[in-house]
Every structure is written in C-alpha cells, then in structure tokens.
Amino acid sequence: MALFYFTVLHTSASLALNESWDPDVRDDMEMMLNKIVPEGLPYRHSCEGPDDMPAHVKACFLGSSLTIPITDGKLSLGTWQGVWLCEHRDQAGSRKLVITLSGCPRETARSPLSPVSPIASTSS
C-alpha cells in the first residue's frame, strides 16, 4: 500500500479534505469559519494585522496535514472529495507544501514469486 502525506508549511493556512465539486461549499465553509473565528476580537497577537490571529485559529481547527491512500496509482478519494489548500489570510504570500510518498504501489509483475523480483529465489 502506498500513501501520500501532504503538509502545508505555514501556520495561517491549512489543508482539508472536503467537497470539491460545488464551489458553494467553499464559500459556505469560509462564511462559517469567519462566524466561528471572527476578526475584530481583542487578540493579543496582532502585529501582522487583524486577520493574522484568526488565521492561526482557523488553521488549528482544520489542520496542517493530510494522509491519503493511493489505490491503482490514484488518490483514494470519495466521489466528490478533493484536497483543499485553505488560505486564512486576506493578503497572503506564497505557500509551500511538502508531499511525501510512502510505500510503493502494488506491481503484479514484481510479486515475490516473480523472476524479476529482487527477493525471488534463484535456486532450482
């Protein structure tokens, strides 16, 4: 089995697995996050602007990483699912992701009994 690990290297952005077909879902999600974590509260951390601390809170709620299995060479996602890079700042800069592949896709031509397998026996 193979897995993709996705990590965003920022504390004011997040990753999520969610509905990826209807753009209204993204708009509704942003509306709800803004209601749950509004700007304008008396946050102590405010040196980077009024949207910075709410962005940190939203990023903690959603998380900074995802692990998704790979089946037959493709991400194993539900019919409507997609990976979201969620930007929580109003005027953010560029973002960096680390994507790591762990394991290896199953190859029937390289099974342990196959002559091309590195662990296949060479004795008769």
pLDDT at position 123 is: 52
53-86, pLDDT tens digit by residue? 999 999 999 999 999 999 988 999 999 999 999 9
By three-state DSSP, how is residue 23 classified?
helix
pLDDT band at 115 (very low <50, low <70, confident <90, very high): low
Q: What percent of the chain has pLDDT over 90?
A: 74
Q: Is 96 in contact with 9 (CB distance < 8 Å)?
A: yes
Distance in angstroms between the alpha carbons of the first and the last residue of the chain: 31
Q: What is the mean pLDDT of residues 24-46?
A: 96
pLDDT at position 38 is: 96
The C-alpha atoms of residue 72 and residue 93 are separated, in whole angstroms, by 35
| Whole-prediction pTM | 0.80
The CATH architecture assigned to 1-101 reads Sandwich (2.60)
